[in-house]
Structure 1
Amino acid sequence: MTQSDDIRFKVVINHEEQYSVWWSDRPNPPGWQDEGTDGTRKECLDHIDRVWKDMRPRSVRTAQSATQGA
């Protein structure tokens, strides 16, 4: 176990459905909500890698879908 394994992190998500890792013992940055996953930094990053398949912000995906559907 390394020293960094002692630090707990959580996955946070913003209104654009973008993910990030944040320290578990700190308040979320403005505009970010808990996603529900916590663990080591690596565990959190591995989770984000599994679930975040389309890195475009939600507003861009929505706009592109509307343009393609028109």
Structure 2
Amino acid sequence: MTNPFEDPDAQYYALINDQDQYSLWPAAIEVPAGWTVAHGPTDRQSCVDHIEVHWTDMRPAR
């Protein structure tokens, strides 16, 4: 079985939480509580690119 977080053929979301932290998330899996979709669904690389551009500080916002 393929790891759903590394499947190059799957669709993904770039998620964001209330601390302005991002996560790459497979679109086939329900978005967890506390997270919202910031980008997607789209290909994995597009989501990774979105996260790299928008998440410039790894520290929580608060």
Same-fold call, TM cutoff 0.5: yes
Q: Which residue of 2 aligns with 1:44?
A: 47
Identity %: 36
Residue of structure 2 aligned with 1:9, choices 9, 12, 15? 12
Count residues with an aligned counterpart: 56
The 5 Å alignment of 1:1-70 reads: 4-59=7-62
Structure 2: gaps (5+ residues): 1-6
Per residue, is there more strand in 1 or in 2? 2
Measured in 1, the distance between the counterparts of 2:59 and 2:30 equals 25
The CA RMSD measured in Å over matched residues stands at: 1.4
Structure 1: gaps (5+ residues): 60-70
27-36 vs 15-24, which moves further = 27-36
Measured in 2, the distance between the counterparts of 1:37 and 1:54 equals 21
Q: Give the TM-score normalised by structure 2.
A: 0.75
**Larger RCO (CA within 8 A; separation ≥ 6):** 2
Per residue, is there more helix in 1 or in 2? 1
Q: What is the CA distance between 1:8 and its match in structure 2?
A: 0.4
Runs of 4 or more off by more than 4 Å in structure 1? none
